[in-house]
Amino acid sequence: MAISFDKALGVHEDAMRFRGHRAAVLANNLANADTPNYKARDIDFQSALAEKMNPQNKAIELQTTHQSHREAQGLLVDDGGLKYRTPQQPSIDGNTVEEQVEHGQYMENSLAFQASFTFLNSKFKGLIGAIKGE
């Protein structure tokens, strides 16, 4: 009987991948805290999880209004779930990064990553125990 890692690990593998991507986005926000007109971005975990659980083809549907227009085929929307963050106190230079908020989100994301890692570790220990017949 073959072991299906997708069934055994569930969404936790994808959750770790998502948390790693979100850490990069939050680190990018922090790196650009002093860049004028930089807009802070973040990923909404709930929408990313819902998209992963119910994948759909997000093809862009374009309407041709002139006979010279061509059909867009194979064009997909893939923004990675990135959304702009609304600042609580906007800065004068147009930058929307709030360092305290970004640090807090980064720490929360790190804790969630560690929790997913710990859960996956226990899953792998269970699989090893099943393989050894323990």
Report the predicted TM-score, pTM, of the whole model to 2 decimal places.
Answer: 0.70
Cβ atoms of residues 19 and 107 within 8 Å:
no
- Contact, 92 vs 34, CB < 8 A? no
Mean pLDDT by 10 residues, the chain (134 residues): 66 83 94 94 78 60 68 48 85 93 95 90 85 83
Q: Give me the pLDDT at residue 16, please.
A: 85
How far apart are the C-alpha atoms of 43 and 84, rounded to whole Å? 9
